Chains A and B, each alone.
Chain A
């Protein structure tokens, strides 16, 4: 019964991915990435991971799409011109043979594939991921957390508190970096208000 939902979603995911890669219209491509994220969110919900589904739906389908559209609205829309520019760039340097990049990519790929041989087989019950955050966490977390039923939250915020602190710091750093990159040019253009804001923070 579940297959009737699972197979169409996976098929749509694959179709959307191919479409994103092949489509020339950037606006349509952005909308298709949003659809892709939404389908992934549905797929994660089927896999009983509502936390991840929330995140994927809100970040992937929502905010990322809006940010991409905002970026597209800032850049010149004439795709053809930019496309021709890049093709001119490509024509200008045919002297560099594609052999070296191809060689590097092949070697890196081989090394990565070789590395996967050490990994446990897919679905191996003895793999560390199945064994290590072992089932006793589920039983242990109840008395440890004063009866909080959500083991995921207990693991994320308490047992793995350092990791989550690091993740929050990463988000903070990313926000600061975006602000630093994008703020600078607005200062150049105008807006004494934003200048005073950055002046205060500096």
Chain B
């Protein structure tokens, strides 16, 4: 699709918004619809769109296959590591209440001048932090696996008969 200028330009215009929407779905998943899986898939869709239009070498430069392969495992490790961290802190596996840290959980008084609604919790802790980390792990794994499957399919040569 290298020779279609309209597709190339529109893709470049669209990809930042797709990525932004992916980040929104990822990090706003505790408040609105969404979460790690959906965000990961949307993120991977942006990478795949880039690969489709600009070719596999271009997307390999953005997301090298070696890095993507390692990210598949990293996401799962983040998830399981959150669970293990809860155990090390004295709770059960994935018992996020152990992640209460009490550090900067309220909005600091120095920031009171900011306009608009004040966030209820400044830094997430406990259950909120646990869900945040776990969803991050899911998002990383799903992005990496979807991108890797696309690489695996797109990297194959046509079967000669």
Contacts and interface: CB of A to CB of B under 8 A. Distances in A.
A146 B102 CA distance: 13
Question: Which one of B38, B135, B148, B154 has the highest number of Cβ atoms from chain A below 10 Å of its Cβ?
Answer: B38
Contacts of A176: 72
Instruction: Tell me if B's interface is mostly helix, strand, loop or mixed.
Output: helix
B20 interface: no
Nearest to A201: B69
A188 B155 CA distance: 13
B150 A67 contact: yes
Given A148-B31, A148-B128, A157-B134, A162 B38 contact: no
Interface of B: 25, 29-38, 41-42, 44-45, 48, 52, 65-66, 69, 72-73, 75-76, 79-80, 83, 93-94, 96, 120-121, 124-128, 130-131, 134-135, 137-138, 141-142, 144-146, 148-150, 152-159, 161
Interface of A: 50-51, 54-55, 58-59, 62-63, 66-67, 70-71, 73-76, 144-150, 152-154, 156-158, 161-162, 164-165, 167-169, 171-172, 174-176, 178-179, 182-183, 185-186, 189, 194, 197, 201
Q: Which 8 residue pairs across A and B have the least CB separation, nearest first?
A: A175-B145, A50-B33, A182-B152, A70-B153, A161-B94, A58-B41, A54-B38, A157-B131
